[in-house]
Homo-oligomer: A and B are copies of this chain.
Amino acid sequence: MAHVNENYAKLPGSYLFSTIAQKTAAFSEAHPEVDLIKMGIGDVTRPLAPAVVEAMHAAVDDLARVDTFQGYGPEQGYGFLRDAIAKHDFQSRGVAIDADEIFVSDGAKSDCGNIGDVLSVDNVIAVCDPVYPVYVDTNAMAGRAGEYDEAAQKWTNIYYMPTTAENDFVPALPTTPVDVIYLCSPNNPTGTVLNAEQLKAWVDYANENDAIIMFDAAYERFITEEDIPHSIYEIEGAHTCAIEFRSFSKTAGFTGARCGYTVVPKALVRDGQSLHSLWNRRQCTKFNGASYVIQRGAEAIYTPEGSAQIDETIEYYRKNACVIKEGLERAGLSVYGAVNSPYVWCKTPDAMGSWDFFELLLEKAHVITTPGAGFGPSGEGYIRLSAFGDAQATKEGVARIENMMASR
């Protein structure tokens, strides 16, 4: 008799975005004349860079001819892309990461989810609160989370580290032992960053306790301040305790094209085993490499032409973030993130609940946002706005919020 993985039944429903969609649909049905502006969306809207488009067309043509056809590629990614990543994302910034420490994949979500395959079920997981739900759900599926406590909105075996305005969004070192720590900087959803000193404390903790840091740097290209690390490997000691996830989704508009990568340094060893070897074995056994066409597109990001085009798009989103931040501040709201991130994290006025403020913004400003409570209990009292929309619509949305707040 076949049995299923019993941990799946413990997962609470993932209702955040479907609830938002339902509330939005109900409002639109009652008010069909209203033009709603979406400012909650976590997906990009700008097209691929011309250099990327050109490279993908050339790659498709490679597959069309017998002499340039590409069959199975290396599970770890093509050398041309791993070399470009190592050179431009790490070595050019003085960070010692070799091409063969880079594993190209179909995206950071897959890697964040699959990395648990190489870890024992017995590890204690630590996450920030609020948090990107994939870290929590994938560990719950593997049996590392214990039971879900509906009232507390927390798993019994997960160690939660609140990151709120009260602690400047910097997670405190744990007071009971943890084994695997997820850190995301620039952070989704709060838009805040960890500086070198703050990261160093975590690297030291991990090395002293033989823990592993899972560092999600999917938004690093949005960093504007000079002293903020783009990679955890800029921190001394990180090579012996950290795995880093990177994505082309937000960097270069690849949410639909699909490509990302994971760095597993050869110096990272636990239980006497190389995590690099374990991850390599996992990928070779359960993955057949990312698409040749898409990897050729990703390679083009690292050409001078492609890089400049990517920066233009990032600048477009950055200006949106600035427009949102400044507008909300003019409206008298407390705003975090935005400076080094496409996300703006906004405190609700008068200690309003985050779903209440979401509904107020929907009904009075005709703007769709994301309630912070959807990212964990410490997200209560905040909403998330995203800079990935159209520039004109973003300006209009912010003006509506300002007007609404002025007339309260």
Contacts and interface: CB of A to CB of B under 8 A. Distances in A.
Given A14-B284, A47-B63, A60-B56, A289 B258 contact: yes
B122 A3 contact: yes
Given A43-B71, A119-B3, A113 B180 contact: no
Contact of A120 (B5, B64, B177): B5
A91 interface: no
A149 interface: no
A332 to B, nearest CB: 33
A179 interface: yes
Q: How many copies does the complex hold?
A: 2
Contacts of A6: 120, 271
Contacts of A294: 291, 293-294
A32 interface: no
Interface string A135-164: 001100100000000000000000000000
A256 B65 contact: no
Interface string A200-213: 00000000011110
A258 B296 CA distance: 14
Q: Which of A9, A60, A273, A292 has the most CB of B within 10 A?
A: A60
Contacts of A113: 285-287
Interface string A104-119: 0011011001100111
A405 interface: no
A2 B106 contact: no
Contact of A47 (B43, B48, B65): B65
- Range of interface residues on chain A? 35 or more
B5 A117 contact: yes
A53 to B, nearest CB: 4
Given A258-B291, A286-B114, A211 B2 contact: yes
Interface stretch (A189-197, A275-283, A358-366): A275-283
Given A47-B65, A291-B258, A291-B294, A3 B179 contact: yes
Q: Which of A45, A71, A273, A284 has the most CB of B within 10 A?
A: A71
A57 interface: yes
Contact of A8 (B45, B70, B273, B290): B273
A46 interface: yes
A2 B270 contact: yes
Contacts of A119: 2-5
B255 A71 contact: yes
A258 to B, nearest CB: 4
20 contacts: A1-B177, A3-B120, A3-B123, A8-B281, A14-B284, A43-B71, A43-B72, A46-B66, A47-B63, A47-B64, A47-B66, A57-B57, A106-B288, A106-B291, A107-B288, A138-B285, A257-B293, A258-B288, A293-B293, A294-B294
